[in-house]
Amino acid sequence: MDLGLQEKVIIVTGGAKGIGEAISKLVAAEGGIVVIAGRSTADNEKTVSDIIAAGGKALAVTAELGLVDDCRKVITETVAKYGKIDGLVNNAGANDGVGLENGSPERFMQSLQNNLSHYYNLAHFALPYLKATKGNIVNIGSKVATTGQGNTSGYAASKGAINALTREWAVEMLPYSIRINTVIPAEVWTPLYETWINSLPNPQEKLASITAKIPFERRMTTSAEIANTTVFLLSPRSSHTTGQIVYVDGGYTHLDRSIS
């Protein structure tokens, strides 16, 4: 299926690793132009090099997304290079373990700054250009906003807010034909997840206990599966889909995990 993304300029935050990398590479494979924004220059440039080597088009922008000025920089550098923005994928963030008991008001606010503020800031600064192209936004959320997890108040609050903003923005952007949707992963096999599993005393035992709770095929979701849905939502093929919270999680969030 041709997704109609040829020469579309798509910004992907955290687009150099894990889920973000899979999204970036799929956008490029579909003929889009990817702008990868994140704090690691080396990681950004490596993924850009991989995309270019595969015949795609990409640009790296080093940015600390928790800073307002760096969010503005992502937009201005994109427009300076390409003259337009067709889509924004808000993906960057980290489950930083700032809980109610083990956290503090200062750490909680910092977690919101790191995990939530750039979703708003980038959308705000990109808005004039998205209006011009009738572009769209796909937010990457987390099942934690629905299920809770424990000891991660800042991250959970940020992801819950992202779900709310998706529907709020979808309403506000109706006059401009700008679509806003969110993709919700649950347990996704990424390099970061693999590092975490391998840091545990019995990694294979822990992994087996997690996958046993995933109803569909008792396996982790892949980054490619998250990317497939995200890029479809970015594309004109999903032209009448907006304000949706789409779970790509093998049924983890909503199906009864006692099913065998």
Q: Is 213 helix (H, G, I), strand (E, B) or coil?
A: coil
Alpha helices in 54-102 (DSSP H): 68-82
Tokens of 116: 């939530």
Q: Check 119, 120, 129, 155 and give the catalytic one.
A: 155
Q: Can 155 be counted among the known catalytic residues?
A: yes
Total Cβ atoms within 10 A of residue 61? 22
d(CA 222, CA 206): 18
Edge-to-edge strand list for the sheet holding 245-247:
57-62, 33-38, 9-13, 87-90, 136-140, 179-184, 245-247
Quote the CA–CA distance of 91 and 188 in Å, as a whole number.
Answer: 14
Could you give phi then psi for residue 18, rounded to 5 degrees? 55, -130
Enumerate the active-site residues. 155
